[in-house]
Structure 1
Amino acid sequence: MAGLDAFTEVLDYPMYVVTTATDGQRAGCLVGFASQCSIDPPRFMVWLSTANRTYRVARGASHLAVHTLRRDQKRTAELFGGRTGDDIDKFGRVAWQSGQGGAPVLSDCCAWLVGRVQDVVDGGDHVGFLLAPVAQSRPDAARPPLLRFSDVADLSPGHPA
């Protein structure tokens, strides 16, 4: 494990808010493990902690929404990363609309995509959701700095990772 820690300590990857809905339940969490994983066909992989309520809701969902945040959106990161949907309604505290497959799309984010779940991969304490994009925000000419891991490293998670 020490070799992996030494490698990952130098990374400062972007953070994402992942949201989903199914059976009348909405859920969302802050995610650091996510990446485009194919160009043709286009695919994006998101890894959710099995300890997280969002994972439990996502298991029955057909779609997930993935949102990038601007560096000045630490409060949104704290809401989705430092609080659990088991205790509060996160969506009562942010503006959002229902996207494809019912996935909640946050109104105030840098960019977003909604993906149809193509496959689910067990990765240990995190499970990967392979997404085929079905909708996304329009590109913005401005490219503000994204919220990164170093911006939220002091955040206490709502659930153990």
Structure 2
Amino acid sequence: MAGTDGFTDALDYPMYVVTASAGNDRSGCLVGFASQCSIDPLRFVVWLSTANHTCRVAHRATHLAVHVLRSDRKGTAAWFGERTGDDTDTFAGVDWRPGPGGAPVLADSCAWFVGRIVGRVGGGDHVGFLLAPVEQGPPDTVRPPLLRFGDVVDLTPGHPA
């Protein structure tokens, strides 16, 4: 089957920081594959790379936190995108608090929600985590420009996809 690089190269989707906690393990990573996938009931799906430390923690977690960043927060994106929880405490020096199910909620986001994991689906080199939102933070009063794929394309990932 022919690749779709020409199609996907044209996309400039929003980026998210997804965080998870299970037992004494916490992890977070920069994610580009995520979307609302149902209106009633409300559902959101986040795709995590199987090579990612966050994916391994998420498999043991009950909840994930999904954060949207403003376009001027590339430093936060780089922190979670260029490091891996395999060898770095990605929460060191980061302002966060525990949310439902222990999912770390970052202070440096313009909007966030915590979702209960209600399903998982394999998708090649990524696993989809189906989330039922249980708590959300108040969004900014003005809709800010969001951090997008084009803003982070120059980052060096903490691990291969």
User: Following superposition, which runs of at least 4 residues in structure 1 exceed 6 angstroms of deviation?
Assistant: none
What 5-or-longer segments of structure 2 have no aligned partner?
none
Render the CA deviation track for 1:51-85: whole Å, top value 9, x for unaligned: 00000000010000000001111111011000111
2:139: which partner in 1? 139
**RMSD, matched Cα:** 0.9
Structure 2 equivalent of residue 128 of structure 1 = 128
TM-score, normalised to structure 2's length? 0.97
> In the alignment, what sits opposite 2:37?
37
Aligned to 2:27: 27
Report the secondary structure of 2:91's partner residue. Answer: helix
Please, which runs of 5 or more residues in structure 1 have no aligned partner? none
The 2-side partners of 1:104 and 1:147 are apart by 20
TM-superposed deviation, 1:101: 0.3
TM (norm. structure 1) is: 0.97
> Match of 1:117, SS?
strand
User: Greater CA deviation, 7-16 or 82-91?
Assistant: 82-91
Deviation at 1:86, TM superposition (A): 1.4
Which AA in structure 1 matches 2:106? L
Offset at residue 138 of structure 1 (A)? 1.3
State how 1:97-112 maps to structure 2 within 5 Å: 97-112=97-112
State how far apart, in whole Å, the 2-side matches of 1:13 and 1:80 are. Answer: 17
Aligned position for 1:54: 54
Equivalence for 1:158: 158
In structure 1, the partner of 2:115 is: 115
Following superposition, the deviation at residue 93 of structure 1 comes to: 2.0
- Following superposition, the deviation at residue 108 of structure 1 comes to 1.4
Shift of residue 2 of structure 1?
A: 4.2
Q: Which amino acid aligns with 1:33?
A: F
Partner of 2:74: 74
Indicate the SS of the match to 2:46. strand
Distance (whole Å) between structure 2 residues aligned to residue 139 and residue 50 of structure 1: 30
1:16 maps to 16
Cα pair distance change 1:35/1:159, threshold 3 Å: same
C-alpha contact 2:16 2:30 (8 A) present in aligned 1? yes
What is the percentage of aligned positions where both structures have the same residue?
A: 70
Q: Which residue of 1 aligns with 2:65?
A: 65
Contact 2:121 2:128 in 1 (8 A): yes
